[in-house]
């Protein structure tokens, strides 16, 4: 079949969950047997979110091919098991960069280079790229931002043109908000009407409306919206708040969203989606009664999106271990030797978060010393693993001033040091060690047992690494390097075999955990945390 293009826009307010709706629709189409992918267009000037502080747009996600991407790509992967790449996330910055490069090369043959047609053509060319591979039946394109923003205008103009050119092979889904006014005890449809008018003024008639709401939108109200907005009544879908984002595909399917999408793109639905494994996961989620308490020590705890992939991976792992997840965010800047015991002693397991720079680092060392000495299941990720190494160097090897050269370039014991090929790097954007690399695990190590294999591939995002000159001293003292890159011998995983579960990974296993294919290291960590919690409780 011809590739079909589905455009997802949002109106009224931001943060309505376009990413979750797009991922849920992709999930449904995939379980119906269609070949699907999702791409996100972000209207900001940054080339990618790699240089953005997590306070801006939350976590920076990393694709297997080493692209620093919007966190929505994480949702896409977790909901669909699709592996996204650089082509699935494009920003205004990338569009402009490529147009300006062409202009400098003289490709425009002396013409004035303008937003229309040159920027819009470049957007269209990019949107169609994945379709040209012939690998997909449906390509869902999420346009970031909110309709009415100045910066999303060129994207919406490109969508308008594509809809005209593609005809029935394209579809527009618009997500809006239906607020509930508590004082009037009423749901209000006017913002939705205005937002659709705004979209229509830009020449885009939505085919499907998804109404984000905290209360049930009555049928009569949905009909009224349909009438005002030129949308067929069955295509006004409500997206009512659910306890878990993973229930959204089911909620949309119950309102026939997937079927409507097929019919409106000229495809006859022949079967129902095969949602069995997904429903099994939800069933496990609902039936879990006991709780596992995990602490996450990091410096961005005010904004939980900063650790999105970690919290989702823990949620997957808790669910498969028949537990509800109680994730406690612990501010590393506030953790001291005076309060560490009170803060951590009720937890079943502790994660030391990734990060950059000095801020909050001392709290991570305090947490790690306490966890190591009290033998609590502990999982260090990227900077968290580097902190494990530094803490061990200081307090076990007696190298008091050991550090990463990221924190102290003149440390006498640079147990974590800049990678050789990073020393000449001056640009910050896209220059880290990024994307998936192979790792060989030592047979019999806890990490290898967790994965059930000795060769894995996981994604990276860092500049610094374990300094192999210190390796023998660490191993002699009990911290083993049990994972290494087969080509470069960079240390990827450290563990203390004598402890219940004390593992640090230089890579980010959280990027590869999905609902149907949870990451084995997280599963094993949560299993160890549960076992420890039960053991501690019986001792009480």
Q: Is residue 356 a contact point for ligand GLN (CB under 6 A)?
A: yes
Task: Give per-residue burial for 326-348: e unless 16+ CB within 10 Å, then b.
Answer: ebebbebeebeeeebeebbeebb
Residue of 355, 435, 504, 509 that binds ligand GLN (CB under 6 A): 355
Least distance CB 493 / ligand GLN (angstroms) = 15
Q: Is residue 392 a contact point for ligand GLN (CB under 6 A)?
A: no
Token duo for residue 158: 């490109």
Q: Which is nearer to ligand GLN, 57 or 463 (CB)?
A: 463
| All residues at 6 or more sequence positions from 349 whose CB lies less than 8 Å from its CB, including other chains | 292, 293, 294, 295, 376, 377, 378, 379, 501, 525, 526, 528, 529, 532
Footprint on residues 200-229 left by ligand GLN (CB under 6 A): none
Which residues are annotated as catalytic?
382, 508, 510
Token duo for residue 195: 């937002």
Q: Choose one: 186-194, 215-223, 351-359, 518-526; the region binding ligand GLN (CB under 6 A).
A: 351-359
Q: Which is nearer to ligand GLN, 97 or 431 (CB)?
A: 431
Q: Is residue 447 a contact point for ligand GLN (CB under 6 A)?
A: no
- Enclosing H/E stretch for 393: helix 383-395
Q: Choose one: 80-88, 288-296, 354-362, 366-374; the region binding ligand GLN (CB under 6 A).
A: 354-362
Q: Is residue 462 a contact point for ligand GLN (CB under 6 A)?
A: yes
Q: Is residue 380 a contact point for ligand GLN (CB under 6 A)?
A: no
Judge contact between 181 and 140, C-beta under 8 A: no
Q: Is residue 354 a contact point for ligand GLN (CB under 6 A)?
A: yes
Q: Phi and psi for 52 in degrees, rounded to 5?
A: -85, 140
How far is Cα 483 from Cα 473, in angstroms, rounded to an integer? 17
- Supply the DSSP symbol for 455: E
Residue of 316, 323, 463, 499 that binds ligand GLN (CB under 6 A): 463
- Find, among 121, 125, 127, the residue nearest to 139 by Cα: 127
Least distance CB 383 / ligand GLN (angstroms) = 3
How far is Cα 176 from Cα 464, in angstroms, rounded to an integer? 43
Q: Which is nearer to ligand GLN, 108 or 356 (CB)?
A: 356
Tell me, by CB under 6 A, how many residues bind ligand GLN. 10
Residue of 70, 137, 259, 406 that binds ligand GLN (CB under 6 A): 406
Least distance CB 106 / ligand GLN (angstroms) = 39
Least distance CB 57 / ligand GLN (angstroms) = 16
Least distance CB 332 / ligand GLN (angstroms) = 13
Q: Which is nearer to ligand GLN, 174 or 462 (CB)?
A: 462
Q: Which is nearer to ligand GLN, 308 or 323 (CB)?
A: 308
Judge contact between 107 and 86, C-beta under 8 A: no
Q: Is residue 382 a contact point for ligand GLN (CB under 6 A)?
A: yes
Q: Angle at which helices 120-132 and 92-105 pack, to 10 degrees?
A: 100
Q: Is residue 383 a contact point for ligand GLN (CB under 6 A)?
A: yes
Least distance CB 105 / ligand GLN (angstroms) = 34
Footprint on residues 161-190 left by ligand GLN (CB under 6 A): none
Q: Is residue 307 a contact point for ligand GLN (CB under 6 A)?
A: no
Q: Choose one: 3-11, 285-293, 353-361, 481-489; the region binding ligand GLN (CB under 6 A).
A: 353-361
Total residues found in the chain within this entry? 540
Q: Which is nearer to ligand GLN, 44 or 356 (CB)?
A: 356
Least distance CB 443 / ligand GLN (angstroms) = 28
- Find, among 237, 346, 220, the residue nearest to 17 by Cα: 237
- What is 116-183 written as a DSSP string? IIIIHHHHHHHHHHHHHTT--SEEEEEEPS-TT-STTHHHHHHHHHHHHHHGGGEEEEEEEEE-EETT
Q: Is residue 461 a contact point for ligand GLN (CB under 6 A)?
A: yes
Q: Is residue 68 a contact point for ligand GLN (CB under 6 A)?
A: no
Q: Choose one: 300-308, 324-332, 434-442, 462-470; the region binding ligand GLN (CB under 6 A).
A: 462-470
Q: Is residue 67 a contact point for ligand GLN (CB under 6 A)?
A: no
Q: Is residue 464 a contact point for ligand GLN (CB under 6 A)?
A: yes
How far is Cα 44 from Cα 325, in angstroms, rounded to an integer? 35
Footprint on residues 231-260 left by ligand GLN (CB under 6 A): none
Parallel, antiparallel, or unpaired: how do β-strands 464-466 and 416-418 relate? antiparallel
How far is Cα 249 from Cα 258, in angstroms, rounded to an integer? 9
How far is Cα 351 from Cα 314, in angstroms, rounded to an integer? 10
Q: Is residue 66 a contact point for ligand GLN (CB under 6 A)?
A: no
| In the block, residue with structure tokens 């192999």 | 468
Sites of contact with ligand GLN (CB under 6 A): 354-356, 382-383, 406, 461-464
């Amino acid at each position: 079949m011809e590739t079909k293009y589905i455009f997802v826009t949002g109106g009224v307010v931001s943060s309505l969950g376009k990413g979750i709706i797009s991922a849920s629709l992709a999930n449904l189409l995939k379980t119906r047997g269609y070949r699907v992918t999702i791409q996100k267009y972000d209207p900001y000037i940054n080339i990618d979110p790699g240089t953005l502080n997590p306070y801006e747009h939350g976590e920076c996600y990393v694709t297997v091919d080493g692209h620093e991407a919007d966190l929505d790509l994480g949702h896409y992967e977790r909901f669909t098991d699709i592996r996204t790449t650089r082509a699935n996330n494009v920003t205004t910055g990338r569009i402009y960069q490529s147009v300006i490069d062409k202009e400098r090369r003289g490709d425009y043959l002396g013409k004035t280079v303008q937003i229309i047609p040159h920027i819009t053509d470049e957007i269209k060319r990019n949107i169609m790229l994945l379709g040209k591979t012939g690998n997909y039946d449906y390509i869902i394109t999420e346009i970031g931002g909110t309709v009415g923003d100045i910066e999303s205008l060129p994207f919406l103009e490109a969508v308008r043109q594509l809809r005209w050119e593609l005809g029935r092979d394209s579809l527009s889904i618009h997500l809006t908000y239906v607020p509930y006014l508590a004082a009037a005890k009423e749901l209000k449809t006017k913002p939705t009407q205005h937002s659709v008018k705004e979209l229509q003024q830009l020449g885009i008639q939505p085919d499907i409306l998804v109404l984000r709401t905290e209360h049930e939108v009555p049928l009569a109200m949905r009909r009224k919206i349909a009438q005002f907005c030129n949308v067929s009544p069955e295509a006004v879908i409500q997206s009512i708040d659910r306890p878990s984002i993973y229930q959204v595909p089911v909620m949309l399917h119950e309102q026939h969203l997937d079927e409507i999408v097929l019919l409106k793109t000229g495809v006859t639905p022949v079967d129902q989606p095969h949602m069995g494994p997904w429903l099994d996961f939800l069933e496990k989620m609902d039936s879990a009664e006991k709780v596992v308490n995990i602490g996450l020590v990091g410096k961005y705890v005010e904004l939980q999106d900063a650790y999105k992939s970690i919290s989702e991976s823990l949620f997957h792992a808790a669910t498969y271990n028949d537990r509800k997840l109680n994730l406690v965010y612990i501010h590393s800047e506030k953790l001291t030797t005076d309060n560490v015991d009170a803060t951590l002693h009720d937890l079943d397991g502790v994660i030391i978060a990734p990060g950059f720079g000095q801020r909050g680092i001392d709290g991570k060392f305090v947490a790690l010393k306490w966890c190591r000495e009290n033998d609590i299941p502990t999982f260090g990720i990227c900077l968290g693993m580097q902190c494990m190494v530094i803490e061990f160097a200081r307090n076990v090897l007696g190298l008091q001033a050991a550090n990463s050269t990221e924190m102290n370039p003149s440390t006498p014991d640079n147990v974590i040091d800049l990678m050789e090929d990073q020393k000449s790097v001056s640009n910050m954007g896209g220059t880290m060690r990024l994307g998936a690399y192979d790792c060989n695990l030592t047979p019999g190590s806890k990490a290898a047992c967790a994965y059930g294999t000795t060769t894995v591939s996981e994604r990276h995002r860092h500049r610094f690494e374990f300094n192999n000159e210190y390796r023998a001293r660490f191993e002699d003292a009990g911290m083993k390097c049990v994972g290494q890159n087969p080509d470069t011998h960079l240390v990827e995983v450290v563990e203390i075999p004598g402890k219940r579960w004390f593992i640090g990974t230089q890579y980010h296993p959280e990027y590869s955990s999905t609902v149907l294919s949870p990451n084995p290291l997280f599963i094993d960590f949560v299993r160890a945390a549960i076992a420890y919690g039960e053991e501690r409780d019986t001792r009480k």
